Every structure is written in structure tokens, then in C-alpha cells.
């Protein structure tokens, strides 16, 4: 029997995402000036205020106020009428030194023996639904808001947009778990004030359907027929949305973990990513399990897969690896047998993960909005300015965990 499945996304101007982006900007700055930095940084944003808290072990000293303001202004909170403005908001810091009790369990004389920075379980997921092996509903939800932000910055076709926004996409699936149509799309976007609410709602609805949707449709040639007149649209369904961002709601680091991952597909271990250096396996092992899942599907082992890894704090070797192919396996092995082969192909110790994906580089700001997965790996040049005016320019590779560099190894191991 057909069924419906829904995923949501939030824009870079959503208060929780503002917090994530500030936390990850701090991570990048620490790693740029001291790659061995150990950082766990939380951010809270509310009307006119930013609060920073966390634990750090680093040789680098940061001007955290300057970094936070730069992030806020880049997002687009640049006007006093937003009640949250990068140039005038208060920035308070309570960042302090990392506990030596935690650090002794992570650092080792031999780096290869580095222990996990925390206990827990992490999940990776991949599916053949899209070219980037991401779930379709989440991918479209992200695309809607990425394009909406681009339209806002262009400021030509739609001139009243403000930074905060949310999207939601509901797909119908058939009995074979294949998507067959878009049932509903929800868009809530912050906007400038209008004189008349009815005129405002009609204008926003018309612009979203006639300007935004065609731009998103063009990104999905395989599913272009899904974008038809039968979609149920709910555009700013509560009506007026002038008050938004951190003035409308308090934002906290790590509150959008499903948006950050797979939109509710697969599973989630519960640990947030942003604000954590790669010694925290909440982040690094989640990236590594996504890499495993994506390479398994791309190699033809299965059409869909969930991979779990788990750790004990201070222990290098994982507690175990679990694989679920949802009955889509193509190699004549059960999921337990597939998991055993995965263990032999992928070294999942924390140090091996950090090294394999070059995670001690300043590569995290780009992950902090519109998901940590599904984006193409690319090499970019980034420049960082220290508190004393010193600048560092680094060439870094983003989204290394999205590479299909283990497909041949997987095929060899599975005889494909």
C-alpha cells in the first residue's frame, strides 16, 4: 500500500542554524591556527545577544566577538529592525579550558592509539534515490531553501525576503519503496512588513510557486514530472512572518540533527556535529559511516543501507559495526556477513578517520547549514585572520567523506 514520508529543512537564518554556524566558524579558526586543537563550543542566540560556552585546549587565541559578528552579517542579519544585527548585538563568552580528565582518555603518545572523545553510536545512510545518494525528500527540502537564500541575496526577483525560513516536503512511495510523487510542499519564509496581510500572503504564495519552484525543479531532471499542479502547497500557513530569526526564537547549537543528517531516514545516534573538533566521534564517525554507506551503494552492494558504529570513551577500536540493507542486498550475503567485510575494508579508529578524511583542517563552516551530507567534495582556498592581524591561507578539501574513493576496494572485497 502506498505511504507518505516527510522531511524538513531550515535556512541558514534559522536561529538554531545561526548558532551552528557560529560554533563551526570557531572550530575552523582554532584548527586553522592550531590543527591539534580540542574544542567543544556551544552557542546560544536570542534578541540582540550571542552567548558562547564550551571547552578548549589550543595554542590559538581567538577574537570570538569578531568571528561571531562576521558569521551573523554573512547570513544577512545586518539591519537593526531584525532585532538581531551582527554589528550591534552583544557577544558574551564563557569558553574555558578542556577538562584534563577527558583529554587523558583521548591523547596518546602514539597518535594511532588515540581514544574516542566520547562514547556513543553513530549512523551513516545512503540510497539510490538521488544522484548524491541522499533521501529525495530531504534533498528537495534543502534545495528549496538554498535557492530561496540565493534569490534573497540576488534581491531582484523577490525583494522582501528576510533570512529565516523553513521547508518541508512530503513524498508518496509505492509498495516497492520507490518515490512516485510529491504530495505536499511547505514553505515558511520571513519577510518585510506589508500594509495588508491578504495582499502579502497572495504575493508570497505567487512568487514561491512561479519563481522558486521552477529553479528547484531544474535541479531534478529525473523527477521533473513530480513538480506538477497536483502538489498541495502550504506557504506561510500561519500568515504574517515578520518577526523571525533569533528575535523570534532562541537558537542553540545542535538542535537540528535530523536536518543535518538524513531527514528522518535511517537512524540517528543523538549526538550533534557543529562545535566539535574531529576527536569527538559524534562528528567524525558519523562522517565515516556516511562514507561507508555511500561507497557500498555506489559499488552495487545494495540499493539502500544504514551503517552503525559505536565507541567507548578513550578506547580506539569501535565496539562494533552494524549494517542494515533493508532487504536490498545484491551480493548473496546477509547483513551480518556484509558488516564483517566492512570491518576489514574500513579502519574505524578515531585517528584513522581523522587522517582518511583530513579532518584536522578548517573545513566545517560549510557543513553548518543545509546538511552535512550530499554535497560534492571540492578543494577551496580559505584565509583566516588571527586576533593580532596575522593571516593564514590554506587550501583545504571540503566534504571528503562524500568521495567515492573506496568503490573499487568494495567491489574487490565483494567480488563485484
pLDDT per residue as tens digits for the range 273-314 = 999 999 999 999 999 999 999 999 999 999 999 999 999 998
Whether the Cβ atoms of residue 171 and residue 2 lie closer than 8 Å to each other: no
The annotated binding site for ATP is made up of 14, 164-166, 240-241, 249, 255-256, 272, 276
Residue 133 has pLDDT above 70, yes or no: yes
pTM of model > 0.75: yes
User: Which helix or strand (DSSP H or E) is residue 410 part of?
Assistant: helix 407-414
Q: What is the pLDDT of residue 113?
A: 67
> Where does CATH 3.30.300.10 sit in the chain?
3-11+135-244, 15-110, 120-128+265-414
Whether the Cβ atoms of residue 75 and residue 165 lie closer than 8 Å to each other: no
Q: How confident is the model at residue 117 (pLDDT cuts 50, 70, 90)?
A: confident
**Lookup: cell for 187:** 514553505
Pairing, β 304-311 against β 38-46 = unpaired
Residue 105 has pLDDT above 80, yes or no: no
Cα separation, 162 vs 246, whole angstroms: 12
**Lookup: cell for 179:** 518515490
Query: What share of the chain in percent tops pLDDT 70?
Result: 96
Pick from 358, 276, 287, 285: nearest CA to 317: 285
Q: What digits encode the pLDDT tens for the residues 315-372?
A: 989 999 999 999 999 999 999 999 999 999 999 999 999 999 999 999 999 999 999 9
Residue 189 has pLDDT above 90, yes or no: yes
* Residue owning grid cell 578513550: 314
What distances in angstroms separate CA 222 from CA 90, 107, 131, 186, 252, one per listed residue? 47, 48, 10, 22, 37
CA atoms within 13 A on the CB side of 404: 17
Q: What is the pLDDT of residue 115?
A: 78
The annotated binding site for L-methionine is made up of 55, 98, 249, 280
Beta-strand (E) ranges in 216-327? Answer: 232-235, 251-252, 304-311, 320-324
Pick from 93, 90, 81, 80: nearest CA to 23: 93
Domain 120-128+265-414 has CATH 3.40.50.1820: no
The annotated binding site is made up of 14, 16, 42, 55, 98, 164-166, 240-241, 249, 255-256, 272, 276, 280
Pick from 143, 215, 230: nearest CA to 181: 230
Q: What is the pLDDT of residue 388?
A: 86
Whether the Cβ atoms of residue 29 and residue 63 lie closer than 8 Å to each other: no
Q: Is residue 187 helix, strand or coil? A: strand
Least confident residue range of 154-158, 294-298, 385-389, 404-408: 385-389
Cα separation, 377 vs 188, whole angstroms: 30
Residue 101 has pLDDT above 60, yes or no: no
Q: What digits encode the pLDDT tens for the residues 36-63?
A: 999 999 999 999 999 999 999 999 989 9
* Residue owning grid cell 593571516: 391
* Residue owning grid cell 504530495: 183
More reliable by pLDDT, 61 or 12: 12
CB burial of residue 177 (10 Å; 0-12, 13-18, 19+): middle
With a CB cutoff of 8 Å and minimum separation 6, the contacts of 197 are 239, 240
**Average pLDDT of every residue of the chain:** 94
Pick from 96, 103, 109: nearest CA to 41: 96
Q: What is the pLDDT of residue 209?
A: 97
Whether the Cβ atoms of residue 167 and residue 138 lie closer than 8 Å to each other: no
Q: If you compute the radius of gyration of the chain from its CA atoms, what whole number of angstroms results? A: 22
Whether the Cβ atoms of residue 241 and residue 98 lie closer than 8 Å to each other: no
Q: Which CATH number fits domain 3-11+135-244: 1.20.140.10, 3.30.300.10, 2.60.40.10, 3.90.25.10?
A: 3.30.300.10
Q: Is residue 292 helix, strand or coil? A: helix
Whether the Cβ atoms of residue 313 and residue 120 lie closer than 8 Å to each other: no
Q: What digits encode the pLDDT tens for the residues 219-255?
A: 999 999 999 999 999 999 998 999 999 999 999 999 9
Cα separation, 61 vs 23, whole angstroms: 15
Q: What is the pLDDT of residue 386?
A: 87
User: Which helix or strand (DSSP H or E) is residue 394 part of?
Assistant: strand 391-398
* Residue owning grid cell 550533534: 272
Mean per-residue pLDDT, 378-403: 94
Residue 153 has pLDDT above 70, yes or no: yes
Cα separation, 66 vs 17, whole angstroms: 18
CATH level 3 topology of 15-110: GMP Synthetase; Chain A, domain 3 (3.30.300)
Pick from 372, 401, 385: nearest CA to 17: 372
Beta-strand (E) ranges in 77-221? Answer: 90-97, 120-127, 161-173, 179-191
Cα separation, 107 vs 117, whole angstroms: 9
Amino acid at each position: 500500500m502506498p505511504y507518505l514520508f516527510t522531511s524538513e529543512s531550515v535556512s541558514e537564518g534559522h536561529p538554531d542554524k545561526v548558532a551552528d554556524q557560529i560554533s563551526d566558524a570557531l572550530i575552523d579558526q582554532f584548527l586553522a591556527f592550531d590543527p591539534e586543537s580540542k574544542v567543544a563550543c556551544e552557542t546560544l542566540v536570542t534578541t540582540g545577544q550571542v552567548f558562547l560556552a564550551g571547552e578548549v585546549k589550543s595554542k590559538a587565541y581567538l577574537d570570538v566577538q569578531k568571528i561571531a559578528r562576521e558569521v551573523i552579517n554573512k547570513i544577512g542579519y545586518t539591519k537593526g529592525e531584525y532585532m538581531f544585527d551582527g554589528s550591534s548585538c552583544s557577544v558574551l563568552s564563557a569558553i574555558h579550558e578542556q577538562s584534563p580528565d577527558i583529554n587523558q582518555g583521548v591523547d596518546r603518545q602514539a597518535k594511532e592509539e588515540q581514544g574516542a572523545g566520547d562514547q556513543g553510536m553513530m549512523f551513516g545512510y545512503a540510497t539510490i534515490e538521488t544522484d548524491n545518494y541522499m533521501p529525495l525528500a530531504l534533498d528537495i527540502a534543502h534545495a528549496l531553501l538554498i535557492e530561496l537564500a540565493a534569490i534573497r541575496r540576488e534581491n531582484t526577483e523577490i525583494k522582501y525576503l528576510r533570512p529565516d525560513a523553513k521547508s518541508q516536503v512530503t513524498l508518496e512511495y509505492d509498495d516497492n519503496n520507490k518515490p512516485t510523487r510529491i504530495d505536499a510542499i511547505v514553505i515558511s519564509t520571513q519577510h518585510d512588513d506589508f500594509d495588508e496581510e491578504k495582499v502579502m500572503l497572495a504575493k508570497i504564495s505567487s512568487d514561491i510557486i512561479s519563481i522558486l519552484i521552477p529553479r528547484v525543479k531544474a535541479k531534478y531532471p529525473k523527477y521533473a514530472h513530480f513538480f506538477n499542479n497536483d502538489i498541495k502547497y502550504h506557504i506561510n500557513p500561519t500568515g504574517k512572518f515578520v518577526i523571525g530569526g533569533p528575535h523570534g526564537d532562541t537558537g542553540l547549537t545542535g538542535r537540528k540533527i535530523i536536518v543535518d543528517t538524513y531527514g528522518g531516514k535511517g537512524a540517528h545516534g543523538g549526538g550533534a556535529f557543529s562545535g566539535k573538533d574531529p576527536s569527538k566521534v559524534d562528528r567524525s564517525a558519523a562522517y565515516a559511516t556516511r562514507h561507508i554507506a555511500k561507497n557500498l551503494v555506489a559499488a552495487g552492494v545494495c540499493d539502500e543501507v544504514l551503517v552503525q558504529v559505536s565507541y567507548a570513551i578513550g578506547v580506539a577500536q569501535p565496539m562494533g559495526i552494524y549494517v542494515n540493507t533493508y532487504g536490498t542486498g545484491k551480493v548473496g550475503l546477509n547483513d551480518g556477513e556484509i558488516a564483517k567485510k566492512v570491518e576489514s575494508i574500513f579502519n574505524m579508529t578515531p585517528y584513522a578517520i581523522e587522517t582518511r578524511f583530513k579532518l584536522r583542517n578548517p573545513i566545517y563552516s560549510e557543513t553548518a547549514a543545509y546538511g552535512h551530507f550530499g554535497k560534492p567534495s571540492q578543494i577551496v582556498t580559505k584565509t583566516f585572520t588571527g586576533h593580532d592581524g596575522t593571516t593564514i591561507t590554506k587550501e583545504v578539501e571540503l566534504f571528503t567523506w562524500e568521495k567515492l574513493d573506496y568503490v573499487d576496494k568494495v567491489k574487490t572485497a565483494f567480488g563485484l
